[in-house]
Amino acid sequence: MGSVIYLDHAATSWPKPPEVVEAMKRAMEVAGANPGRGSHRMALNASRVLYNTRRALAQLFNVNNPNDIVLTGNTTEALNLAIKGFLREGDHVIATMVEHNSARRPLEYLKRTIGIKVDYVPVTMNGQVDLKEVEGLFNHQTRLVVCNHSSNLLGSILPIKNIGELAASHGAILLVDAAQSAGMLSIDVEEMKIGMLAFPGHKGLLGPQGTGGLYISPDIDVEPLMHGGTGSQSEAIDQPSVRPDRYEAGTPNVVGYAGLDAGVRKVLEWTPEYIYRHEWELTQRMMEGLASVRGMKMLGPELGEPRTGIVSFVVENRDASELAFKLDREYGIAVRAGFHCTPLAHMSAGTENTGAVRASVGIWTSKEDVDIMVEALAKIQA
């Protein structure tokens, strides 16, 4: 592939740190067996890979017991496990207008099939919620609050700690979708009163695709999504009750999790605070540059306000997909156009009919990359 300016980190980060690639190669060589299913060395090595990954994640999110972290294939699987495993007929859920379809669709599915009720808290055009409005939606049936930590369209950052406190004071559980925040914002499940945390391995945690996870507080009972072999209690007809086996049936992606472990260790070394700062400075530079492009309208928080590494925009009389196509084919710049699996956020931003172009930066993105993108758009609009 020719050289590319990769500005699609909100979908999947790329490239990965060399340590991630090396860890995956090594796992192929020395841990290529089934964890938990044998006592031979390769099987034990594979078990160790999974445990080390859980331990690194537990350190990052301040989780007491690494076995409360379930390893999944992505955020979507984690959200499905949390939502379908926790909710029961008659439950009421509070979610927000910046939820991704990965949270919204399982909620809507349960609405249709078992009659849960869901209220979506409105957000401002910039992607912020009013805590008073959140508070006003609680009732006696409210068991779960689902909240996206950072909008994958707007980059806005939601006040998770305050929402965690509200949920706790009403006896409800907070489920956080950390797809756009894990690795970029500091997350402490205890301090933020997070009952369940769904996260990807392949975005800010710098691991490979096909990895993610769900933290489930030890106080919460969640039914498994999958039943099957775990290598433990094989004589029992029921899924083992012990974590993480209860939620991890079948052969896992050991090689992927070895990469995720290495990715999380890089994040711990750099720190989410440093990564956030780096990405924020790039978004500010991008916004300053884009402000002088003809017909440009940027979405999300104003210049100078907190935001994750996402800048979405629409250009007057330009089709978003056509713009993204031009950036790719004529300038070698990878961005993402369309509706970003979040129609509710587009409705809030007023772009439900046009979609938008989203440029998203990562740890490897440089100021030059940002300047090249701004210049390309300026030329296209000249």
- Residues of this chain that interact with ligand PLP (CB under 6 A) are 11, 74-76, 100, 102, 148, 152, 177, 179-180, 200, 212
- Point out which residues pair with 5 in neighbouring strands: 333
- Cα-Cα-Cα-Cα dihedral sign, residues 141, 143, 149, 154: negative
Closest C-alpha among 192, 165, 204 to residue 57: 204
108, containing H or E segment:
helix 101-114
- Closer residue to ligand PLP (CB): 72 or 230: 72
Shortest gap between Cβ of 115 and ligand PLP (angstroms)? 25
- Closer residue to ligand PLP (CB): 27 or 179: 179
Shortest gap between Cβ of 98 and ligand PLP (angstroms)? 8
* Burial class of residue 331 in the structure, from the number of CB atoms within 10 Å of its CB (0-12 exposed, 13-18 middle, 19+ buried): middle
- Closer residue to ligand PLP (CB): 11 or 94: 11
User: Tokens 């008659």 identify what position?
Assistant: 90
Residues with Cβ within 8 Å of residue 255, at least 6 apart in sequence: 24, 27, 28, 31, 32
- Closer residue to ligand PLP (CB): 75 or 239: 75
Give 59's Cβ-side CA count (13 Å radius).
Answer: 15
Shortest gap between Cβ of 339 and ligand PLP (angstroms)? 12
Shortest gap between Cβ of 79 and ligand PLP (angstroms)? 7
State how far the Cα of 97 lies from the Cα of 105, in Å rounded to an integer.
13
- Closer residue to ligand PLP (CB): 47 or 72: 72
- Closer residue to ligand PLP (CB): 146 or 333: 146
Identify the three-state secondary structure at position 273.
helix
Shortest gap between Cβ of 379 and ligand PLP (angstroms)? 29
Shortest gap between Cβ of 107 and ligand PLP (angstroms)? 13
- Closer residue to ligand PLP (CB): 200 or 252: 200
What DSSP line would sit under 74-100, residue for residue? Answer: SHHHHHHHHHHHH--TT-EEEEETT--
User: Tokens 């912020």 identify what position?
Assistant: 128
> In angstroms, how far is the first alpha carbon of the chain from the final one?
29
Shortest gap between Cβ of 310 and ligand PLP (angstroms)? 9
